[in-house]
Structure 1
Amino acid sequence: MSSRGDRGGRGRGGRGGRGGRGSDRGGRGGFRGSDRGGRGGFRGNDRGGRGGRGGRGGRGGRGGRGGRGGFSGGAQVIKPEYNFQADYESKVSDENSLELIKKLPPLVSEKGALDIELRKAYGSQGTKTNVGTNHVSYSVANLKFWQYHVTFPAEIDAKRKVKNDLLEILLTKAPFSGLKNTISHNGSDALFSTEPIPLDDKTEKKVRFEFSRDEFLGIVPNSILKGGAPRGKPSKDKADAPETAAQAQYVVYCTVEFIHTLDMKELQNYVSLKDSNKIDPSPYIVALNVSLSYQITRAPNAITTGKNRFFFVEHPEKCQSFQKGLFIASGYFASILPTFNNVLVSIRPVAGAFIKSHNPDGTAMNVAQLVADYYGEPLDRLSPDAVLREKSFFKNIRIQRTYLGSKSKPKAIFDISKEFDANNYKFEVDGKVTTVAEYFNARYNIKIKHPELPLVHLGGSNYLPMEACTIVPGQEFTGEVTDVRGVLAFTTHRPHVIAGLTQKEGVEKIVDASHDKRMGKKLIVVPSRVINAPNILYKNRTISYAEKPADGKSEKKKGSWDLTNVEFYRPVKGKIDLLVVCVSPRGRGLRPHEQDAVEDAVNEYVAECGRHGITLVLKTIEEFEFTFPDRCAAEYTQFMKEFKGKIGYVLNIMPHLDKTLYAAVKKTLDVNLGIPNQCTLINKFTKQRFGKFDLQMYALMGMKASIKLGGVNHILDEKSSAVVNQKGLPALILGADVSHPTGPNSADGVSVASVVGSIDEYYNTFPGSIRLQKGREEVIGDMAQMVFERVAAYHRSVSKFPQHVIFYRDGVSYGQFDIILKEEVPQVKEALKQVAKKYNIKNYKPKLTFLVIVKRHSTRFFPLEKNAKDAKGKLVAVQAQDNVMPGSIIDKGVTSVKFYDFYLQSQQALQGTAIPGHYFVLYDEYKFQPDVIQSLTYNLCNLFSRATKSVRVVPPAYYADLLCERGTCYIHGAQPKRGETQLEAATKLYGRGIHPDVQHTMVYI
């Protein structure tokens, strides 16, 4: 092991006795100390997790002991146990819409516009079985809504919470009060009533309603009331600012206007394909969802958190404590879903984290008690400075000033004061100076026990002691959930548990809360088909799954295999010089025993890669130390410059998860220097079990290295890939996605769009293009140019141009199909025209098939039997690990009314309930039959290049998602200068994009 004293390194000197252990692959070179900067951390996905799946948690004290959960600064979460048995409808929902679709009149579109594909057939291949769903029927017979639009003044219109509270007051006024049980509102600007509302004014379409001062004071904030108190420095002479003259004259009002009548008979005709009026179903679905949601929220103890999520928390003090200051509760998602000849309600269990509002004895919790719970310390052991360090947790929590009586309205905490406590904040009362503590004792008979705690700032000059503010119940926590293990422990349940919860408890609670007698009580059943898994080829082995009856083991192998004695299909060419970089903060480098562990682990990693066909030659193990996180990018770039052109691959060993360092490393190597690389965590990389390193993890790391270095890991057999490899010319398969900024300033952030594309007949390598665009824009603005780049990359590899293009678009919601078809599909077609023009190709008209995948949906499937008979009458497994079998296709019963869609569950569910992908064929010039496009999509799911499993999302879409995440790394830390937008700052930081030396590889994998 050599030291690097000449570079200002930490020069460990020789360690003796280890130098001769070098590998015959080219020698290790040992550690080389360095004081070069860089740290931060590693976080493969800085877009944030999607959260727990919404399994179902406990109901107060009912949960059983269960398994152990996570622990992260709060209480340990215990996994609840349930013993519900779901009831299913006896009739299978398998109605056929094809004949009615054929009779539909042609769609009337704008000139040159594209029409969305209609269903042309149903799939037929595979073993037929039936599966349960998390849907119940919903009758819309004899149901009609009158819709009204509510308009507020401009200064109020942007405040949804204010509008919601004012709408509640509006419903207490005439003529609404007499129809209160028939009216629902969306919390913003719409009323829906099952009876007409008699608006008296015959001369005006918009009828004005004013709110009294007692009604709106405390709801409309001072920042809106003209001349209201600013949220700035307090006036130190008063605890409660008096009302200004401007506030006293301010009038709050709204106008109500009738829009139209929504007769649900028209919706029933639409789903039955008997719609002669060609309605847009969206307003009807909105009306049903608003009505259902609003009626549920009126139930006692019901909490709604938006997006159709409902929690029924009768005793908050009995709910499980979660991370600091929170409890975790179970609830349900419920939403209307139209399908052919039926209207359904989709119901599934969800979980939510809430601010604690009650003490263990059931009494209301004040802010001081919440502080004690948050820190896990008695108040007399907490210093004011300690409270202030994490005051951001308490901002915007709504509190109630119960000492003011019933007229007091909830207020949000603006801040925790840095300057004032109940002893030092003084003001005059009746000509005498008093403190907050003295004032509350004299005025309200409230003795402040901890006057040293910082005051709660409600804005303006309103400062209150923590002990005088009680927490408003039912506030969902909107910050970062750090106790991921706890969430998984609480929410992860197998399908039979989810089905039982949904049907036995969810349906019952929603029906009871909404008093809705139109909802069915049993879960519907739909037909499913389980198609065969493809054969996967390695250089020296073929992975096959033989269909057979379930035995508890064999069915787990469908879509799951390992790399034991396997060599990648096309190994990396030649020998690759490897540099290992151990990252640490300055002065906190590896200790001698850690160096030993790293050296041994690296040797094992190199050897394991060699067993799969990657010949790595270890040149040296370096230590890189950074000074400060915000300097690590520049320091790491300087550190790595000397290795440019000398090594072929960099393995970065990170100290812990941290997206700042991860972004610095990836920006340096992918963008600035163009060196293939990957990252790992030191605790995982050097971990041993029973004296052995994790060779399986090293093999999976080797899969990443192989792909980045130009190898091909595994491919489909000839039969499985025949549809995309015709006449010796492979199809071009593309994937696209857009990632959006998150957090409080996301509206001003930057979205990252990507397109990836195949380059050969193996479909294992998908290099890609990245573009930055304005935050929250879902449509990909530069789609045409990125597709052009992917076609050019295909041509560089194949030396021909594709005749068939298959496109998988990720990140699309159900309401965005029209805009994708209108704006993105034409861009793809335009790119192909530009290819013909650029390369002077006559009559070049490749056929385009464009699909979207919806990942965030509420549909789940539950197996009803373990085995079923295949086409030959042989009994085979249709269930694996309590879930429906990988390869399950559902295209009836819960699919769209008339469009060309299907659900595919392609993955094994290692835990919990699997979530299927929902695929829509939006545009199809190739005219794929359902069996063909369904099997192709499933086969591709078995080709994810860095895994030995079939994945949930078709790989081109998955890769595009990963590339968007990597693009987010490249612009991490972009700070706009004065007069500069966030997009301009990010574009400047990104520079010219991925380095030319690696831009044709999968740098993001």
Structure 2
Amino acid sequence: MSGRNTERGGGRGGGRGGDRGGRGGSRGSDRGGRGGGGGGGRGSDRGGRGGGRGSDRGGRGGARGGRGGRGGDAFVVKPVYNYVAEFADEVSSENSLAAIKKLPAPAKTSGLPIALRPSYGALGTPTNVGTNFVQYKVTNLIFYAYHVTFPEFLEDKKKVRAELLEMLIDKNPFLPSKKVISHDNSAIIYSTVPIPIENTKVKKVPFVFSEEELKGVIPKARPGEKTTAGSLTVTVELVQELNMDDLQKSTSLLGPDNFDMQPYISALNVSLGYKISKTPNVFNVGNSKFFFVEHPESCQPFQRGLYLANGYFASIRPTFNNIVINVNSAAAAFIKSHTKSGKQMNVADLMEDYFGTENLSTLDNTQVLRHKSFFKGIKITRDYLGHKSKPKNLHEIDIKVTAANHKFEVDGKMTTVAAYFKSKYNITIKYPNLPLIHLGGTNYVPMEACSVVPGQQYKGDITDVKGMLDFTTHRPPALAGLVQKEGLKVMAKGDAEHRIGNKLMVVPSRVLDPVTVEYANGSVSYNPKPYDGKSENSKGSWNLNNRKFYRPVASVIKLNVVVLEEERFPLREQEKDLVNRAVKTFISESGKYGVKYAPAFSLNKITITNPYALEKKLEEVARSVNKPNNFILWILPQADKGIFSSIKKVCDVRVGVLNQCTIFNKFTRERYDKFDLGMYALMGMKSCIKLGGVNHVMSKEHSSILMKNNLPALLLGADVSHPTGAGANGSAPSVAAVVGSIDGFYNSFPGSLSYQEGKVEIIGEMEKMCVERIMEYHAKVGKLPQEVLFYRDGVSEPQFEILLKEEVPAVKAAFSTIKRKMNLPTYNPKLTFVVIVKRHNTRFYPLNKNAKTSSGKEIAVQAKENIIPGSIVDKGITSVKYYDFYLQSQMALQGTAVPGHYYVLYDENKFKPDEIQKVTYGLCNIFARAVNSVRVVPPAYYADLLCERGNCYMNGAQASRGETQMQAAKKMVGAGIHPSVKKAMVYI
């Protein structure tokens, strides 16, 4: 098991990401725990899921055996693909430097200018890698963009507008050119031929939809609209002629300085996506993902009520001297809408599938009530109306009303819903005693009368994580073949067929030398060798055998162990003895690495009751042991977000005592009469950091890049976490975090938290939090930093401009605040601001097993069918002119690894590409709680973890009358992390 799972009280592991979180420990495992699954996702050092409460595997296990879940979900069979990908013969390695140097100085804007690429990196062993990009020829292609203006009341009704656009292109003069027309589902129609809509009298040409055409599409025209009764008028105007030859020139930096590529790229993406979405059985999710829904070859039954569908991501983007398409495999869970025989499901059919029964009359309303959240929000149509009806959301399943007992007035007489449907529509209700569906207002309808709309992506919790991973993770050879043979086939239709390349692009790559990680009694480093199928798998991973933490915890710590027991499963004597033995072993093992606990420890237990009573008990225990050099080890019965959040809220915010969580059946697990010493080692890493120690550091070869005049650079990391689930639709706040280094070891990053308006990405209190981090650095180092390297997580490319306009100036404003605060004549350290984009669809495929270093030595450049950790790509598919690179820093355990995509947005330190790439990779090897390199550079990773912890602190906050959710959250969190522990990495 890996460290993170222990601390969080379980959780699901790490998505698809490949950070290992290896076992460490004295048993000598090279691999370590599962960590986070395959190559995609964030990459986590967490370890396995832990058998959580709702798990189909059961609850505590251990001495009693688990409780089990509903069970019965479909078994997912991992798809097997035998395609062999074809890669381009030529290597795409266009060099943009000469063109960049000819560019004029950027025009002054309200924001800071984005950094341009200064050069390319040169360090490392050169090789070539395949990509999931293909070239797209756009020469001699023109798009005519027409803007459609709708009545004001349709501004927030995107789906209605999309349907009207479809109806519009079925009218003259659009209809004859329909094959070359596409639209963005909102307001823009694109055509590759001009549409003859010119009107000498008006620029905006009106088109009228009759009342008959609008039936089932939108409500009748509202008062005040300038239309005839029941009809609706839109206007169409030619707004832009987009000659793609101009776009092609701009990718070579030959066009006008102020040329805006975005309208051109948007037209290409809309056209491509629109054509794909018109393929039978294909549904698009967002603008770039397309799924084969209800297509037997591409779907599998999944959790009850769901199936898994295969699909593809496709997006067009510019690179230097090229337009390319990024193509990737995608998969998602969808709500079932058809039976095995192909019949469209109604809600009753879906409920039968969900509960695994062929007779819903055997269900009681309590069961329906317990699981109604699955059905809430599902889109349905009412086919019994006899005409096309607009889909409606299932508002509620009301267990108080049934088709048999709910009455309403019809023609002056009271009748039941069941009787009405029989007399009006000749529909006999099979389950008259089941709850009715509430569609809003006074609209109650039987489940059997509502058909489930196909193509609805499921956004709830996935319980069968293994099944999802089995379906979605593919090793690079399989993924490359799938993308090239199937993905391109979907896109290459019509005119696009001769424009889209049929082979995957090849780009140059470099493999950086291994990072040496230092401990108190020695160092560890991978020794590059030729590929042998085994030794290369250890690059970026090691164990803690015979290692001592670089700087052990200075004091002897008193350990206070608290076991949380459930009322139904009180702690038995043999379990108490088991805990005693496990704790003694944990103390002994921790001491070997550098965390000295006193031999005598306290052991208490708390019985879990209701949440309020539990928090009170937790606080009583925490306060009773809140003394210097005391540490609490909480042992939870199973993974439980609510209990974990309560513990962290009490210890981190209210009381101020350092602590750690683990799971009973993991902490006490024995194999061959031995406890899991590897897990204890990783728990010791987390304890060491929290208690002020240092686990491991980079060698001077890497850390010297961050030293200037014997003063370490300050590393900052920032992220924003947005509300999910029920909070995503309400006024729940977002959590922003900034973490900062406190010395040149770069192992400890205390942080600052703030709460801001939900779904706002720009950090509002950036200046304040940066001031706190700089002052903490000053308190530890004794001087102010002269160089600042900032890693920002959680933003995408369209947001870069606003970062340069708001966040980067806010960081610089913090320097001015420090100057005033400390009464200095000047203080203006050099700032480099780097963004890591994690959620992207770029993948790399190794083409060679070995490559030769500059000295002629042959070394492995692939591992587990992936490119090897330390691989850099900064040519071929990177930005036209901006300073970006891809770094694959982690080993993928399954699937295809996802590299980090780094953009240097602002660079006063003038880091050379080799320097920023090398130090970023070095940092990825010293993540504080793992013995492996991680995917996300640690300062950004830590900020993400602190945001998660910030969500824990406000868990359960309920707004009272007249109070916003933000106010409720801030009231619960109070002043934030307690002063007693604010300087520690409480979130690790």
The two structures have a TM-score, normalised by structure 2, of 0.90
AA at the equivalent of 1:176: F
Residue 319 (structure 1) shift: 2.7
Residue 393 (structure 1) shift: 2.0
Map residues 827-838 of structure 1 onto 2, 5 A cutoff: 827-838=810-821
State whether structure 2 residue 558 is matched by structure 1 residue 565. Answer: no
AA at the equivalent of 1:621: L
1:769 and 1:44 map into 2 onto residues whose CA distance is 24
Change (3 A) 1:945 1:980: same
Please give the secondary structure, in 2, of the residue aligned with 1:876: strand
Residue 288 (structure 1) shift: 1.1
1:423–1:435 Cα contact (<8 Å) kept: yes
AA at the equivalent of 1:855: K
1:55–1:498 Cα contact (<8 Å) kept: no
CA deviations 1:230-271 (Å, max 9, x no partner) are xxxxxxxxxxxxxxxx99955444333332222212211111
Residue 54 (structure 1) shift: 10
AA at the equivalent of 1:606: I
Residue 210 (structure 1) shift: 3.3
1:206–1:257 Cα contact (<8 Å) kept: yes
Map residues 735-884 of structure 1 onto 2, 5 A cutoff: 735-746=717-728, 748-884=731-867
Residue 764 (structure 1) shift: 0.7
Q: Determine which of 940, 950, 974 is the counterpart of 1:957.
A: 940
AA at the equivalent of 1:758: S
State whether structure 2 residue 152 is matched by structure 1 residue 172. Answer: no
Which residue matches 2:148? 150
CA deviations 1:465-524 (Å, max 9, x no partner) are 333333222222232222222111111111111101100111112224886432111100
2:121–2:874 Cα contact (<8 Å) kept: yes
1:852–1:921 Cα contact (<8 Å) kept: yes
Map residues 557-636 of structure 1 onto 2, 5 A cutoff: 557-586=538-567, 588-617=569-598, 618-636=600-618
CA deviations 1:7-26 (Å, max 9, x no partner) are xxxxxxxxxxxxxxxxxxxx
Which residue matches 1:300? 280
Which residue matches 1:503? 484
Which residue matches 2:83? 84
State whether structure 2 residue 338 is matched by structure 1 residue 349. Answer: no
2:868 and 2:37 map into 1 onto residues whose CA distance is 22
Q: Which moved more, 1:759-768 or 1:41-50?
A: 41-50
Residue 103 (structure 1) shift: 0.8
Which residue matches 2:66? none
AA at the equivalent of 1:936: V
1:577–1:616 Cα contact (<8 Å) kept: yes
2:495 and 2:38 map into 1 onto residues whose CA distance is 25
2:339 and 2:227 map into 1 onto residues whose CA distance is 38
Which residue matches 1:464? 445
1:572–1:711 Cα contact (<8 Å) kept: yes
Q: Determine which of 370, 387, 397 is the counterpart of 2:368.
A: 387
Residue 660 (structure 1) shift: 1.7
Residue 548 (structure 1) shift: 0.9
Which residue matches 2:266? 286
Map residues 899-978 of structure 1 onto 2, 5 A cutoff: 899-978=882-961
Change (3 A) 1:804 1:460: closer
Residue 301 (structure 1) shift: 1.4
1:299 and 1:658 map into 2 onto residues whose CA distance is 44
Residue 546 (structure 1) shift: 1.2
Residue 927 (structure 1) shift: 1.2
Identity %: 53
Which residue matches 2:687? 705
Residue 778 (structure 1) shift: 1.3
Change (3 A) 1:304 1:429: same
Residue 405 (structure 1) shift: 4.3
State whether structure 2 residue 88 is matched by structure 1 residue 105. Answer: no
2:621 and 2:365 map into 1 onto residues whose CA distance is 43
1:660 and 1:513 map into 2 onto residues whose CA distance is 54
Which residue matches 1:162? 160
CA deviations 1:395-452 (Å, max 9, x no partner) are 3323344444464554433333333333334456677765444444455444433322
Q: Which moved more, 1:78-87 or 1:465-474?
A: 465-474
Please give the secondary structure, in 2, of the residue aligned with 1:575: coil
Which residue matches 1:237? none
Please give the secondary structure, in 1, of the residue aligned with 2:109: coil
Q: Which moved more, 1:46-55 or 1:403-412?
A: 46-55
Residue 754 (structure 1) shift: 1.2
1:263 and 1:417 map into 2 onto residues whose CA distance is 56
CA deviations 1:618-677 (Å, max 9, x no partner) are 421111124312443344223322222266111111122222221111111111111111
State whether structure 2 residue 877 is matched by structure 1 residue 887. Answer: no
Residue 586 (structure 1) shift: 4.5
Please give the secondary structure, in 1, of the residue aligned with 2:597: strand
2:16–2:469 Cα contact (<8 Å) kept: no
1:403 and 1:744 map into 2 onto residues whose CA distance is 32
**Aligned-residue CA RMSD in angstroms?**
2.8
State whether structure 2 residue 377 is matched by structure 1 residue 396. Answer: yes
1:433 and 1:832 map into 2 onto residues whose CA distance is 74
Change (3 A) 1:646 1:853: closer
AA at the equivalent of 2:761: E
2:868 and 2:504 map into 1 onto residues whose CA distance is 20
The two structures have a TM-score, normalised by structure 1, of 0.88
Which residue matches 2:128? 130
AA at the equivalent of 2:641: K
Please give the secondary structure, in 1, of the residue aligned with 2:557: strand
State whether structure 2 residue 170 is matched by structure 1 residue 188. Answer: no
2:809 and 2:366 map into 1 onto residues whose CA distance is 59
2:71 and 2:269 map into 1 onto residues whose CA distance is 37
CA deviations 1:770-829 (Å, max 9, x no partner) are 111111221112212211111111111111121211111111101111111121111222
Please give the secondary structure, in 1, of the residue aligned with 2:439: strand
Please give the secondary structure, in 2, of the residue aligned with 1:369: helix
Q: Which moved more, 1:740-749 or 1:818-827?
A: 740-749
Which residue matches 2:632? 650
Q: Determine which of 346, 365, 369 is the counterpart of 2:345.
A: 365
Please give the secondary structure, in 2, of the residue aligned with 1:343: strand
Change (3 A) 1:253 1:690: farther
Change (3 A) 1:665 1:225: farther
AA at the equivalent of 2:636: M
2:106 and 2:797 map into 1 onto residues whose CA distance is 19
Change (3 A) 1:632 1:259: farther
State whether structure 2 residue 323 is matched by structure 1 residue 324. Answer: no
2:408 and 2:813 map into 1 onto residues whose CA distance is 71
AA at the equivalent of 2:280: P
AA at the equivalent of 2:268: L
Please give the secondary structure, in 1, of the residue aligned with 2:725: coil
2:300 and 2:11 map into 1 onto residues whose CA distance is 31
1:162–1:219 Cα contact (<8 Å) kept: yes
Q: Determine which of 256, 261, 273 is the counterpart of 1:276.
A: 256
Which residue matches 1:733? 715
Please give the secondary structure, in 2, of the residue aligned with 1:84: coil
1:54–1:351 Cα contact (<8 Å) kept: no
Q: Which moved more, 1:820-829 or 1:335-344?
A: 820-829
1:577 and 1:129 map into 2 onto residues whose CA distance is 53
1:891 and 1:943 map into 2 onto residues whose CA distance is 24
2:227 and 2:204 map into 1 onto residues whose CA distance is 26
Residue 390 (structure 1) shift: 2.0
Change (3 A) 1:845 1:357: closer
AA at the equivalent of 1:88: F
2:128–2:846 Cα contact (<8 Å) kept: yes
Change (3 A) 1:843 1:429: closer
1:464 and 1:833 map into 2 onto residues whose CA distance is 63
Change (3 A) 1:753 1:428: closer
AA at the equivalent of 2:735: V
Residue 455 (structure 1) shift: 2.8
Unaligned segments of structure 2, at least 5 residues: 1-6, 18-35, 42-55, 58-69
Q: Determine which of 702, 714, 725 is the counterpart of 1:720.
A: 702
1:422–1:453 Cα contact (<8 Å) kept: yes
